Chains A and B, each alone.
Chain A
Amino acid sequence: MWGRLSLDALPHDMITIGGVIGGGLALLAVIAGLTYFKKWRWLWDNWLTSLDPKKIGVMYLVVATIMLLRGLADAGMLRAQQAVFATGDGGPISPDMFQQVFSAHGTIMIFFVAMGALFGILNLIVPLQIGSRDVAFPRLNSISFWLFVGGMVLINLSLALGEFSTAGWLAYPPLSELQYSPGTGVDYWIWSLQIAGIGSLLSGINFLITIFTMRRAGMTLMKMPIFIWSVIGSMLLVVFAFPILTATLSMLSLDRTLGMHFFTSDMGGNPMMYINLIWAWGHPEVYILILPAFGIFSEIVPVFSKKRLFGYTSMVLALMAITILSFTVWLHHFFTMGAGANVNAFFGIMTMVIAIPTGVKVFNWIFTMYRGRVKFATPMLWFMGFVVTFTIGGLTGVLMAVPGIDFQVHNSLFLVAHFHNMIIGGVIFGFFAGLTYWWPKFTGFRLHEGLGKAAFWCWLIGFLLAFLPLYALGLMGAARRLDSYDASLGWQGLFIVAGVGLLIIALGVLFQVVQVGYSIWKRRELAVGADPWDGRTLEWSTSTPIAEYNFATLAPVTYRDDFWEQKHRSDIKEPVTLVEPIRMPKNTSLGVVVGVLATAIGFGIIWHMWWLVLIALGGAIVAVIATTLQEDTEKIIGVDEVVATEKDLRGVKL
């Protein structure tokens, strides 16, 4: 009945026990708080079952932030081990634990922090920027979020019950096969990603259809904000790449659960196919993350330079070029697997080619600043930091695109420095810029500037200290993922500097947490109107707080940056639009139900509790059927209510 679950599954070492107790206490505190303040109903009605993308977006960001803290804690353990204990006889972190920690670190950061923040931002911003009231498929949106949570639950559960994978964030076979990893670790990795991955795929479909079918009348493709173009690129990559992940994870799972031989060392299995397939997903994945970050900068630089974006058409072409090209480069992740010179050279050249449109974008941003009036508020600082770090990372990327060079630095700390360079300097800085920029829109007050700037400098300096030494270490022959090395190599000094860098990053995160708390406390002093930055795009035309239905009327737009034109052109005539009753989707528990059942399915497969899998699967099918048969899924916001809301929020009489 319990499958292979037994008391042995509980953690044995002090660090994990500490983590579980800590996390458990935090969870208990939240539960206690909700109970004491009698907020369960409120939470359920206003947040958990809500189909409002603005609420779903916030929930994504909350989960992503929690996972960021866990990912940073993991990083802290890795740095501590490598800086302090690796030259000696061990220390509190065993090699097995170290390997679980770096596997969890990478998995969490990519799938739960970066993807979570991404979908959080998309939910918050996309409908508003295209002038619509919702996404195309609201219930699917909720399902996507709760599948994401399901995956998050599983990966955190692995701390308390069982173990996590020690095979890295991509779990190459044959190490990830039963022969070398018989425990539950790899299974936790598989199902946590499989469940979250399906959520991502559904979101990809959702946002693409939203953008293609629900734009405000008059907003042709070439009048959309560049951020929306970047989302199109990113979501196209999602719909093409994530099915490959689904298939590959399924095959690995079939190997491990049903004794199949897709990637085993024997019986004809082919581990090299796994590597090809996983990177055919994996490379587009990193572009899925970076393209929206590029889009965010394309929004921020014009607003904070008080000048139009330079080269709109070029930017669109560049985005689409990067999107297409990102499918042609995956082999550069395994030049050393022996594909032969022609194949290696082809993929190397394609990889370099991506640098061209990327460079174009950087030049266009810089030239947006040219002859503008640049205000160095925090979002713009993040942009400056981005250009500096991303350019370095791009250079090292071009280096590694040359197979001859990659033959030396592949899988060394040089590689680790490069991809952190791109993801922190590119994706994370972009997301922080976006969050700081859009925060006042949703809350009505700005984040404290001083604390924001302090956070930025800590992140920038911390990042440089944490990762520049790793470039040197890689060139010194240090491989990645090492829990020990000989003291005589002289590497320890650099690892200590890297550790200090992480501490400074942690200080930056502390500044950010304090910034949020302090800003909420001082929100009256920091209060701003609905358009604090003199924005250009439609989201700034709403009230703050934003009405549930976003826009009272869906008047057609005429220009690119239509809101800016409305504000600054003298020949604009306000089109008269009738207020009509607004249909909005009702709340539904479908998402929560599907998420819980998916988690149960995953848990059941991991622990070989087949009855649980069957029941949960049956339940999921019933839930889906019941929902498709539901008739009463919408509510109507009457004209009176709309008029009253608009008067209340915007002081506007319709």
Chain B
Amino acid sequence: MKKRTKPFLSPWRIVFLAVCVLVIAGLGAFLLLNGKNIAVLNPQGIIASKQKDLIIFTVLLGMVVVIPVFIMLFAFAWKYREGNTKARYTPEADGNRVIEIIWWVLPLIIIVILSVVTWISTHDLDPYKKLNSKTDAVTIRVVALQWKWLFIYPDQGIATVNEVRFPEDTPVNFEITADAPMSAFWIPNLGTQTYAMNGMTTKLSLEADKVGEYRGSNTNISGEGYAEMNFKAIATTHKEFDMWVKAIAGSNSHLDWATYEALAQPKKDQPVMYYMLHEPNLYAMIQNKYMDGHATNMHDSDMMNHEGMN
């Protein structure tokens, strides 16, 4: 006589196991994540803040599909398992117009909604778009080197390495180039990253809501010292910023072309440096190092509405 054994994995046992797993996972996640700076979800500036909202919106929209998929997957797997002879069995059923239309159309609707949001947000978050603000913007020119970041303040006449400071609540217009393999400039607490490329300028506008010190890094492999290309992005009060600029302007370190060439040599373990900017055209000269053969139509900095790469 065939002995009827209870299956090891009854639904309640599965639920119990699942709950255990989730509790352990939750605890683990809590232990590993509590108190840490989850920068992208902890925006300190308007751009990053909008991006976080986008993330939340998209995840929630995605849940409209993901949750039913998981529910159906497990429900059907359980109900229609081989051992359950009580369930209906229709081996020849191979389609249902209505259902198929539903799940072509439902995702389509979700994607249409997301597309509209994408179109709008992509234009709103275009790094070339200047931020609206009552305060005047600060222009900072960034040069990715091997393996450090050079920051040139054309209006303040100073330059720094591996530390960028700017006033809070003020749009910062970054103009970015490289004298190194392709790099990427990223301050996750403040938002968008942008590639830094030889012989051309990319632009990025960010703004910090309040005073704070944030981590910046490179995300694009650029040689042996790539992992060391971290810098500090420090938002200060207006007064502190002015004082800081003044202090540097009076320092003895000068950045001219010769000093720059020495600085640009591939080297690891670069400490933070402050310079008085002795060569006002330094940024243009660095970019022009590679521009001998390019046509003039790339990244014209006076273009009002930047469109496309050419």
Contacts and interface: CB of A to CB of B under 8 A. Distances in A.
In the complex, A touching B (Cβ < 8 A): yes
Interface of A: 95-96, 99, 166-168, 172-175, 180, 261, 265-269, 271-272, 305-314, 334, 336-345, 348-349, 352-353, 355-356, 359-360, 362-364, 366-367, 369-376, 384, 387-388, 391-392, 395, 398-399, 401-405, 407-412, 469, 472, 474-477, 479-486, 489-491, 493-494, 497
Given A272-B197, A336-B194, A405-B51, A363 B95 contact: no
B65 A405 contact: no
Given A352-B114, A352-B118, A363-B103, A469 B62 contact: no
6 contacts: A175-B223, A307-B89, A313-B95, A338-B203, A340-B306, A352-B118
A472 B33 contact: yes
A574 B147 CA distance: 74
A99 B221 contact: yes
B213 interface: no
Given A338-B309, A344-B122, A410-B219, A369 B107 contact: no
Interface of chain A: mostly helix, strand, loop or mixed: helix
A494 B32 contact: yes
Contact of B191 (A312, A399, A408): A408
Interface stretch (B158-166, B236-244, B288-296): B288-296
Contact of A411 (B73, B89, B108, B219): B219
Given A272-B309, A311-B94, A476 B37 contact: yes
Given A411-B219, A482-B227, A485-B227, A367 B193 contact: no
Nearest to A338: B202
A373 B219 contact: no
B278 interface: no
A391 B64 CA distance: 12
Contacts of B8: none
A371 B87 contact: yes
Given A338-B306, A479-B218, A483-B227, 17 more contacts: A266-B199, A272-B197, A272-B309, A314-B95, A338-B127, A338-B203, A341-B126, A348-B118, A363-B103, A373-B80, A384-B73, A392-B66, A398-B114, A412-B219, A469-B32, A477-B40, A486-B230
Contact of A375 (B82, B192, B293): B82
A175 B39 contact: no
Interface string B171-202: 00000000001101010110111110111001
B39 A476 contact: yes
Interface of chain B: mostly helix, strand, loop or mixed: mixed
B249 to A, nearest CB: 31
B307 A343 contact: yes
Contacts of B299: 338
B281 interface: no
B220 A411 contact: yes
Nearest to A387: B73
A309 B223 contact: no
Interface string B283-303: 000000110111000010000
Contact of B107 (A359, A474, A497): A359
A395 B81 CA distance: 28
B238 to A, nearest CB: 27
Contacts of A99: 221, 224, 226
B193 A359 contact: no
A306 B186 contact: no
